[in-house]
Amino acid sequence: MTRTLLAALTMAALALLQPFGAGADPVLSVPLVTVGVGDTFMIPISITGATDLTSWQFDLAFSPSIVKANDVTEGPFMAAFGLTLFTAGVVNNVTGLISLVADAYVDLPPDPSGSGVLANIEFTALAPGLSQLTFANVFVNDLDSGFEATNGQVTVIRKAVPEPMTLALLGLGLGTALGVRARRRPARCS
């Protein structure tokens, strides 16, 4: 009985010695964004609450009829700590999947800890609609658990286009202004 009580007290003391909030799972996330048709934009893949991050990997699914993936680049988070080995993965705009995006920290300790951008994905908006940005095959420090992955979304809207009558009135106003200016110029005498 004394051993059990001693073990319980030891565990309670260790729990009290842990920093407040320690042990919280890191979170990988994709934002919710709204863009216009034809816009080229960047989607950051972020992590918060990382502790001793040595590697990560993910796939990201999207709607290829709504957006087109152009490029994947390394974010500044891991590289700020030292040397990394980044792979941009494979972009498939037919199926709407970016697969095997990964990075590994290959420098001396301390390993990256904190929050920041892991990768940036450049997209172009093709048509109005919603494109879910959905994580799959996510690994952090070679594990497929012990973290959260929060999906995102791109909302593509039509850009406002001036009506033809508005353009005609603008042209008429500009023409009138130029005509008035031309009449006000003094005549040159030779």
Partners of 46 in the beta sheet? 29, 117
pTM of the complete model: 0.73
- Range 23-177: architecture per CATH: Sandwich (2.60)
Residue by residue, pLDDT tens for the chain (190 residues) are 444 444 443 444 433 333 444 568 999 999 999 999 999 999 999 999 999 999 999 999 999 999 999 999 999 999 999 999 999 999 999 999 999 999 999 999 999 999 999 999 999 999 999 999 999 999 999 999 999 999 999 999 998 766 566 566 666 666 665 665 656 666 555 5
Q: What is the rounded CA–CA span in Å between residue 131 and residue 38?
A: 15
Domain chopping of the chain, boundaries: 23-177
CA 91 to chain centroid, in Å, comes to: 16
